[in-house]
C-alpha cells in the first residue's frame, strides 16, 4: 500500500501497489518499471520539441533498444525477460504518460512478437525472438487488413492449387504502417490470389521494400505511421505465418485482444500524462481567477471539481485496464486450450476497458485546461499534444462499434466475433 504522507503522483492510484504488473519469471535483477520510468524521464525532456518536429525518433528508439525493454515479453529460454502482458502494458502506459508515439511503437513491437507466436509454430518463431534479444531488433508494422492494395503471389510459377510454393512475391502499398521506419523486422500482410490474408515476417532491409516516411498528422507524430511500398518483394515460405495462420485458432484470435489492450494503455497513459502535466503546471504557474476569492488555484472549488472528475474517470479506466490485463495473462497462459468462451470474456473485458480509456483520456486531455487556465495554452507548454495524440489514436477503430459489440452481448449474450478489430 502506498502512502499519501507525501504527494502522490496523480497517475498513481492511491490504492495501488507500486506496479499493477505481475512479476514474471525473468531475470530478477532487471527491473522493467524502473527502467521504463528512467526512459520516460529522458523522453519527457524532449517530448514537446519532438512532437513539433515529427519524423522518426531515432535516438529514443535506440534508447529503447539499449534498455532491454524490447526483450520484455520474450521467454527467458530465448534470452528474454519472460514478463507478462500485464507488465508490458504497464510499461506502455508509463511511456505514454510522456510520449504517446514511443509508447505505441513499444507496445506494437511486442504485439508483433506476439503475432508471430500466435500465428506460427514455436519452431518458426523461436529463432526470431532469440535474434530479437541478441540484436535488439525493433519490429515494425505493415499488417493493415483494411488496406487491401498489397498482394502476394507464388513466384515460382506454381498456381495457387499448390498451397506452399517455396518463394512468393509481395507487391503493392500499405498505409498506417506504424514503426516501419528504422525497424529491423516487418510483419507484413497481403492478399493471396484467393483473397485470403497472408502474414509474413521479413527483414525491413529486404529489397523492394520502400518506406515512404510520409506520416504527417495532427497527433502521434513520431509513430512513423506512414505508407510502405512493396515492389517485387521476395518472401520465402519459411517467413509466412501458416500454422495456424492469421486468427487461425481460438488462441491465435487473441491477437486483436492484445492490439486493443495496447491501444487502451496508450490512451490511459496519455490521459494520466495530461493530468500529471496539467496539475504540475497549475501548482507551478497557476493563478486563481480574479473573482474566485481564493489565493491559489488549488483552493478554487471548480478547479478541485475538475481535478476530482478527471481522477475518477481515469481511475475507472485504469481499474478496467488492469483487470483486462489480468484476463489477457490468464488467456495467454491457456495456449491452445483456450476456449471460444474464454476468449470472448477476454475480448469483452478489453473492449470495456478500451471504451472507458477512450472516454476518460479525451475528457481529461481536453478538460485539463479548465484547471490550468489560459496561459497554459502557450506553445512551449505543449499541453495540447495529449489531446492531439489521443484524438488521433482513438480513431484506430470506432469506439461506437466496440459499444455495439458490448451492447449486443449484454442484451443477447452473443460474444464478439473475432476479427482484426475485435
Among 311, 361, 386, 418, indicate the residue that binds a second copy (CB under 8 A): 311
Q: Phi first, then psi: give them for residue 234, nearest 5 degrees.
A: -80, 130
Contacts (CB under 8 A) with a second copy, residues 61-80? none
What are 189's strand-pairing partners? 199
Among 193, 203, 304, 335, indicate the residue that binds a second copy (CB under 8 A): 304
Instruction: Give the up-direction half-sphere exposure of residue 349: CA atoms within 13 A in the CB hemisphere.
Output: 22
The answer to whether the beta carbons of residues 419 and 252 sit under 8 Å apart is no
For the CB of residue 87, give the shortest distance to a second copy in the complex, in Å: 19
Q: Does 219 bind a second copy (CB under 8 A)?
A: yes
The DSSP annotation for 343-359 comes to HHHHHHHHHHHHHHHHH
Q: Does 96 bind a second copy (CB under 8 A)?
A: no
Q: 116: exposed, middle or buried (C-beta count within 10 Å: 0-12, 13-18, 19+)? A: buried
Q: Does 149 bind a second copy (CB under 8 A)?
A: no
For the CB of residue 216, give the shortest distance to a second copy in the complex, in Å: 4
Nearer to a second copy, 184 or 300 (CB): 300
Please give the Cα distance from 385 to 164 (Å, whole number): 47
Residue 99: count other Cβ atoms within 10 Å of its Cβ: 30
Q: 76: exposed, middle or buried (C-beta count within 10 Å: 0-12, 13-18, 19+)? A: middle
Please give the Cα distance from 148 to 203 (Å, whole number): 21
Cα torsion angle, 324, 335, 246, 127, sign: positive
Kindly indicate which of the ranges 84-92, 194-202, 238-246, 410-418 contains the residues binding a second copy, using the contact rule CB under 8 A: 410-418
Alpha helices, H only, 97-136:
100-119, 122-135
Angle at 13 between CA 34 and CA 101, to 5 degrees: 55
Q: Does 309 bind a second copy (CB under 8 A)?
A: yes
Among 41, 135, 283, 295, indicate the residue that binds a second copy (CB under 8 A): 283
Residues 343-362 as x/- pattern, contact with a second copy by CB under 8 A:
-xxx-xx--x--xx--x--x
Among 34, 134, 164, 302, indicate the residue that binds a second copy (CB under 8 A): 302
Please give the Cα distance from 194 to 206 (Å, whole number): 25
Contacts (CB under 8 A) with a second copy, residues 316-345? 316-317, 319-320, 322-324, 326-327, 330, 339-342, 344-345
Nearer to a second copy, 224 or 239 (CB): 224
Q: Tell me how many residues contact a second copy (CB under 8 A).
A: 105
For the CB of residue 302, give the shortest distance to a second copy in the complex, in Å: 4
Q: Phi first, then psi: give them for residue 291, nearest 5 degrees.
A: -100, 10
Q: Does 195 bind a second copy (CB under 8 A)?
A: no
Kindly indicate which of the ranges 27-35, 130-138, 245-253, 383-391 contains the residues binding a second copy, using the contact rule CB under 8 A: 383-391
Q: Does 364 bind a second copy (CB under 8 A)?
A: no
For the CB of residue 365, give the shortest distance to a second copy in the complex, in Å: 9
Q: Does 217 bind a second copy (CB under 8 A)?
A: yes
Please give the Cα distance from 182 to 205 (Å, whole number): 10
Nearer to a second copy, 157 or 284 (CB): 284
Nearer to a second copy, 239 or 276 (CB): 276
Q: Does 279 bind a second copy (CB under 8 A)?
A: yes
Contacts (CB under 8 A) with a second copy, residues 12-41? 13-15
Q: Does 10 bind a second copy (CB under 8 A)?
A: yes
Please give the Cα distance from 279 to 285 (Å, whole number): 10
Amino acid at each position: 500500500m502506498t502512502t499519501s504522507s507525501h504527494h502522490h503522483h496523480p497517475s498513481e492510484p492511491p490504492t495501488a501497489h507500486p506496479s499493477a504488473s505481475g512479476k514474471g519469471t525473468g531475470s530478477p535483477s532487471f527491473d522493467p518499471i524502473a527502467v521504463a520510468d528512467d526512459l520516460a524521464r529522458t523522453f519527457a525532456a524532449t517530448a514537446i520539441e519532438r512532437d513539433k518536429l515529427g519524423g522518426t525518433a531515432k535516438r529514443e528508439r535506440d534508447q529503447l533498444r539499449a534498455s532491454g525493454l524490447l526483450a520484455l515479453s520474450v521467454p527467458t529460454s530465448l534470452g528474454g525477460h519472460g514478463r507478462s502482458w500485464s507488465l508490458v502494458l504497464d510499461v506502455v502506459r508509463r511511456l505514454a504518460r510522456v510520449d504517446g508515439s514511443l509508447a505505441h511503437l513499444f507496445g506494437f513491437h511486442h504485439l508483433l512478437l506476439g503475432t508471430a507466436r500466435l500465428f506460427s509454430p514455436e519452431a518458426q518463431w523461436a529463432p526470431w525472438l532469440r535474434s530479437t534479444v541478441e540484436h535488439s531488433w525493433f519490429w515494425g508494422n505493415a499488417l493493415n487488413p483494411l488496406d487491401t492494395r498489397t498482394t502476394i503471389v507464388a513466384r515460382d510459377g506454381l498456381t495457387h492449387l499448390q498451397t506452399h510454393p517455396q518463394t512468393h512475391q509481395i507487391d503493392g502499398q500499405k498505409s498506417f504502417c506504424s514503426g516501419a521506419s528504422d525497424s529491423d523486422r516487418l510483419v507484413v500482410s497481403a492478399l493471396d490470389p484467393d483473397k485470403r490474408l497472408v502474414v509474413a515476417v521479413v527483414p525491413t532491409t529486404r529489397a523492394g521494400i520502400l518506406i515512404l516516411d510520409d506520416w504527417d498528422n495532427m497527433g502521434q507524430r513520431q509513430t512513423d505511421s506512414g505508407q510502405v511500398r512493396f515492389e517485387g518483394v521476395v518472401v520465402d515460405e519459411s517467413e509466412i505465418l501458416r500454422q495456424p495462420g492469421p486468427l487461425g485458432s481460438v488462441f491465435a484470435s487473441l491477437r486483436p485482444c492484445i492490439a486493443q489492450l495496447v491501444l487502451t494503455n496508450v490512451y490511459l497513459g496519455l490521459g494520466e500524462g495530461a493530468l500529471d502535466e496539467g496539475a504540475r503546471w497549475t501548482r507551478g504557474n497557476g493563478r486563481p481567477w480574479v473573482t474566485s476569492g481564493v489565493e491559489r488555484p488549488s483552493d478554487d472549488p471548480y478547479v478541485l471539481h475538475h481535478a476530482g472528475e478527471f481522477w475518477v474517470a481515469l481511475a475507472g479506466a485504469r481499474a478496467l485496464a488492469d483487470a483486462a490485463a489480468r484476463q489477457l495473462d490468464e488467456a495467454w497462459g491457456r495456449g491452445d486450450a483456450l476456449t471460444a468462451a474464454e476468449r470472448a470474456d477476454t475480448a469483452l473485458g478489453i473492449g470495456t476497458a478500451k471504451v472507458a480509456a477512450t472516454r476518460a483520456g479525451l475528457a481529461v486531455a481536453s478538460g485539463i485546461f479548465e484547471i490550468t487556465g489560459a496561459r497554459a495554452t502557450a506553445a512551449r507548454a505543449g499541453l495540447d499534444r495529449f489531446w492531439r495524440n489521443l484524438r488521433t489514436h482513438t480513431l484506430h477503430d470506432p469506439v461506437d462499434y466496440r459499444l455495439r459489440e458490448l451492447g449486443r452481448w449484454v442484451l443477447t449474450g452473443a460474444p464478439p466475433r473475432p476479427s482484426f478489430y475485435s
